[in-house]
Structure 1
Amino acid sequence: METKSSSIIENTIQLLAVSGGGACDFLPDHERLHPSIEKLKAIVELLRSILFPGYFGEPIQRQNSLPHILGVRVEKLYLLLAEQIRSVQQFNHENNHTTASGENSEGVAEQFIGILPEIRRKLCTDVKAIFDGDPAAKNYGEIIFCYPSIRAMINYRAAHTLLSLGVPLIPRIISEMSHSETGIDIHPGAHIGEYFCIDHGTGVVIGETCIIGNHVRLYQGVTLGAKKFTLDNDGNPAKNVPRHPIIEDNVVIYSNANVLGRITIGKNSIIGGNVWQTKSLPPNSRVLQQKAVESSFTDGGGI
């Protein structure tokens, strides 16, 4: 005889096996490819080992073997990436979204690999920016091995490149992987210049439409966010509307500052910790938190 508990379980399985309707009405066509989180993790690990061989991936025993090792890794990256791009093109097609630039997945993967030297060059400027600005850093190798901002920037610069090539979904997944790993949240749509430094990093948020110049330094807890959203005719947040700050060259923003809205922070400016900034600043500005009031009492006075 069927027990009550088994009946509940069977009914639950039947309910879960059908579309949830509304926002959950997305049961996929299982004959199509779909993105694989595990394979995308492998892509990220391969990328790190290609961009900084010896620091990530298997050790490099002999320098003269590096071209062969990189060749194997790049070939594996190409195959995995082409497969995953093809899967998101199919996934987005069935959800009525745009596919990647109308190009085949192999061509997009090849274009991405061709840009890897430029990605590495920019990442090396980020490493130098951290070294030049952090007395605790003993050498470049320590920064690559240890600093979470470099891991986050590897993911960001790769994700931003894929997004610029028209690849859907994958850039956001790669960015969220580093968000989970490092606590640094950088949207792949943001534009970030060279010699970029995030010191410590935990809690940094950089929004989708941010534009950041060269030689910019952020400390932990900084938010470059939106102040409010523009709504479309249906009352939903409008897409692709500039809503995040523009940070010009040589700006320093200290910990837990909030810079919100489509404002411009002029070059060579400094924003102090815990500041709430919602208005544009001219170049060479200094914005600091109001000084604390210090009081002292003796013999119980003031109680």
Structure 2
Amino acid sequence: MNPPESYTNLLRQTVEELSDTSKMQGLFHQHRHGDPLPSSAALEEIIGLCRAVLFPGYYGKSTLNAVTVRYHIGMEIERLFALLTAQVQAGLCFGQQDDDCRCTGVDFHTKAEAIAATLISMLPQVRRTLATDVEAAYLGDPAAQNNGEVISCYPAIRALTCYRIAHELYRLDVPLIPRIISELAHSETGIDIHPGAQIGEYFTIDHGTGVVIGATCIIGNHVKLYQGVTLGAKSFPLDVNGNPIKNNPRHPILEDGVIVYSNATILGRITIGRDAVIGANKWVTHDVPAGQKV
């Protein structure tokens, strides 16, 4: 239905104002015809394929056995390589700031293929690390009956699978795509882990909802968090123009064996020492010695 005549000029004027690209600095990403675009749907499929490869029988085809597993994983890896190459290339294009440079050439595609192949080659190690996370979740929760329940049901394993894949892509300098993957996990589980964080083995998050782990966090082995924990930044150093300085270390370091109970907030580049325990609802902005209970 067309708008009433009395509003036509108002709407036309609004369209003109909203379409003025000179007033959209930093708010408008201009697509170049032919360049690939990142796709949340494709990245969701990529995560699904990774889960099926990492936890066969729990995700993807449920009728696998020792005879058919190699065939199904081979099919999934082939599909994963094609999808991942396309999305990595889209991420490289998105991060390309040179307006005169096209992203559809052989160089971009070849680089995307190399990154996709590298990530896939890392999946056996990712699985070995996730196996430690599954063990930590199982041993850390008396309600868990077996590893299968942990893999199938626990949001921490879903979020950590996304994180550990996104982290490898982040280390490979792929723009945008790792953040989209981490936000997919955030939407699915309520757990927000920046792909730049460094997290060791045997890591678990009990319940998980509301957990936030910042970009420059360093977390050791055998660390356990409960729901609502924030590992954040206390303040943002500013440059001469008053803008936040990017990429400086600003989030906590949690050493091996640390436990942080629900709704605790730990802020700034501080160190929580080995085997320290942070109680529920605590606000911590200073170093905590090894073994201390707060």
TM norm structure 1: 0.88
The percentage of counterpart residues that share the same residue type is 51
Partner in structure 1 of residue 29 of structure 2: 26
Describe the SS at the equivalent of 1:180: helix
Confirm or deny: 8 A CA contact 1:184 1:202 kept in the other structure: yes
2:51 corresponds to which of 37, 45, 48: 48
User: In the alignment, which residue of structure 2 is the partner of 1:3?
Assistant: 5
Residues 126-275 of structure 1: pairs in structure 2 closer than 5 A: 126-275=133-282
Determine if contact 2:56/2:64 at 8 Å carries over to the other structure.
Answer: no
Other structure's SS at 1:24 match: coil
Note if contact 2:233-2:269 (Cα within 8 Å) is conserved in structure 1.
Answer: yes
**Mapping of 1:71-110 within 5 angstroms?**
71-94=74-97, 104-110=111-117
Note if contact 1:60-1:66 (Cα within 8 Å) is conserved in structure 2.
Answer: no
Q: CA deviation at 1:17?
A: 4.7
Distance 1:125 1:195 in 2: 5
For the pair shown, the structure with the greater C-alpha radius of gyration is 1
C-alpha offsets along residues 128-173 of structure 1, whole Å, 9 cap, x if unaligned? 0011111000000000111000000000000001111111110000
Moved more, 169-178 or 102-111: 102-111
SS in 1 for 2:85: helix
Residue identity in the other structure for 1:220: Q
Q: What's the Cα RMSD here? A: 2.0
Cα 1:209–1:95, aligned 2, differ >3 Å: closer, same or farther? farther
Following superposition, the deviation at residue 94 of structure 1 comes to: 3.4
Matches of 2:167 and 2:269, distance apart in 1: 20
C-alpha displacement of 1:63: 2.5
Counterpart of 1:84 in 2: which secondary structure? Answer: helix
Partner letter of residue 201 of structure 2? E
| 1:53–1:60 Cα contact (<8 Å) kept | no
Summarize deviations over 1:279-300 as a string: whole Å, max 9, x none: 101111111xxxxxxxxxxxxx
Q: Following the alignment from structure 2 to structure 1, what is the Cα–Cα distance between the partners of residues 64 and 264?
A: 45
Structure 2 residue runs of 5 or longer lacking an equivalent are: none
- CA shift at 1:233, angstroms? 2.5
Residues 239 and 95 (structure 1), Cα distance of their counterparts in 2 relative to 1, 3 Å cut? farther
Q: 2:71 is matched with which residue?
A: 68
- Provide structure 1 residue ranges, at least 5 long, that are not aligned to the other structure: 288-303
Question: Which residue is equivalent to 1:297?
Answer: none
State TM-score, norm by structure 2.
Answer: 0.91
Greater Cα offset, 262-271 or 58-67: 58-67
1: CA distance between counterparts of 2:17 and 2:60?
44
Match of 1:35 in 2: 38
User: Structure 1 segments of 4 or more deviating over 4 A?
Assistant: 5-18
Name the count of aligned residue pairs.
283
Query: C-alpha displacement at 1:60, in angstroms?
Result: 2.6
Letter in 1 for 2:268: G
Letter in 1 for 2:148: G
Q: What is the CA-CA distance between 1:8 and the residue it aligns to? A: 4.8
